[in-house]
């Protein structure tokens, strides 16, 4: 069974600090996908990134970076020089190709509430 654990329930930082959000996953499949979503107070889940299980290359996009390590089943997310607008709940999610290889349903962690204070 799939499982995603986000051990940090809440994190509070001061603007311009770097912050890392942790994500640990469990799966028995060899082919899977990992995602991060952002949920601001408005409620809409905003897609941030997708990684597949065969690509462990870290990725950087502006102030965001992701560290995928299969050896520790982790997919951590770092925000550099945080800003007040980064305040949101961040979800890590896991997807396996379901029956027929077409159902990429997501298993989410419980989320980490990030508050960036001015």
Q: Quick one: how far is CA 6 from the chain centroid? A: 9
Q: Where are the beta strands (DSSP E) in 1-118?
A: 3-5, 10-14, 19-21, 24-26, 32-39, 46-52, 59-61, 64-69, 74-79, 88-96, 106-108, 112-117
Min separation Cβ 44 and another protein, Å: 4
Q: Which is nearer to another protein, 13 or 50 (CB)?
A: 50
Contacts (CB under 8 A) with another protein, residues 29-88: 33, 35, 37, 42-47, 50, 52
Q: How many residues bind another protein (CB under 8 A)?
A: 28
The binding site for another protein (CB under 8 A) comprises 4, 33, 35, 37, 42-47, 50, 52, 91, 93, 95, 98-100, 102-111
């Amino acid at each position: 069974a799939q499982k995603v654990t986000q051990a940090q329930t809440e994190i509070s930082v001061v603007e311009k600090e770097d912050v890392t959000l942790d994500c640990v996953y469990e799966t028995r499949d060899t082919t899977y996908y990992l995602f991060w979503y952002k949920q601001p107070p408005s409620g809409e889940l905003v897609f941030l990134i997708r990684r597949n299980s065969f690509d462990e290359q870290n990725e950087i996009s502006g102030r965001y970076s992701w560290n995928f390590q299969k050896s520790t089943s982790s997919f951590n997310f770092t925000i550099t020089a945080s800003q007040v607008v980064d305040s949101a709940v961040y979800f890590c999610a896991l997807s396996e190709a379901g029956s027929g290889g077409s159902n990429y349903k997501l298993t989410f962690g419980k989320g980490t509430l990030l508050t960036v204070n001015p």
